[in-house]
Structure 1
């Protein structure tokens, strides 16, 4: 069922993309949509205030186990997204996914297959696939 949803999204993106069909246009639109996601997240802190960022060095000892490292890592985000910020971020992420799907269409790639392959890679490598 999930493959149908991703494939339907990719097909819809293909049907609705009329103007920016050049791979060059798509790449720049994808980058622009990515920067809009970043900006929307930053606005949650700087304009709305529903989130705050308390960033500091991640203190992990050199001899820590994988589970200790995983449990001690912090996302540095405090608070909860308000409805307005959540909507803005979701809208910008949706636009970002639209351009990603459009790039896949132009290159004759299947987004669902890419997701499956990456999921297989990260599951196979497990903790050795640290990012």
Structure 2
């Protein structure tokens, strides 16, 4: 079975969303699901320990060439997610995507269009998109 397109997923969410059809409900469920993703990542650091976090200033300088700046910046993370943590995070991200799709449905926004336009913007603006 092939992966569903964003449009197919958005239609599926529309069919399944029964309980939280209010825009306010979806807004708060989306926010809550986002917090759950962040919590799952935090637990992979603090409880499991499969990844570690050591953050400090990036040391970015506007004088650096773009390729050098990219090589110099770090994620502040070491290690890799274990399968259990990865499964939990994927699950939480799935719920987050579900509520993002529901949000789009209620507002009449096509998620695939959003992704396409953002991708086009990234392609056109490149690094300048991030400033």
Residues matched between the structures, number: 130
Measured in 1, the distance between the counterparts of 2:69 and 2:9 equals 37
Question: Any unmatched runs of 5+ in structure 2?
Answer: none
Q: Which residue of 2 aligns with 1:79?
A: 79
Give the secondary structure class of the aligned counterpart of 2:130: coil
Measured in 2, the distance between the counterparts of 1:121 and 1:104 equals 20
Please give the TM-score of this superposition, normalised by the length of structure 1: 0.94
Answer yes or no: is the 8 Å Cα contact 1:3–1:112 preserved in 2: no
Q: Which residue of 2 aligns with 1:69?
A: 69
Q: Which residue of 1 aligns with 2:22?
A: 22
Question: Any unmatched runs of 5+ in structure 1?
Answer: none
Q: Which residue of 1 aligns with 2:117?
A: 117
Measured in 2, the distance between the counterparts of 1:24 and 1:36 equals 18
Measured in 2, the distance between the counterparts of 1:84 and 1:29 equals 24
User: Alignment RMSD, CA only?
Assistant: 1.5
Superposition deviation, residue 70 in structure 1: 1.1
Q: Which residue of 2 aligns with 1:108?
A: 108
Say yes or no: does 1:12 pair with 2:12.
Answer: yes
Please give the TM-score of this superposition, normalised by the length of structure 2: 0.94
Q: Which residue of 2 aligns with 1:43?
A: 43
Measured in 2, the distance between the counterparts of 1:77 and 1:121 equals 28
Measured in 2, the distance between the counterparts of 1:81 and 1:36 equals 16
The 4+ residue runs of structure 1 with deviation greater than 3 A are none
Measured in 2, the distance between the counterparts of 1:3 and 1:46 equals 33
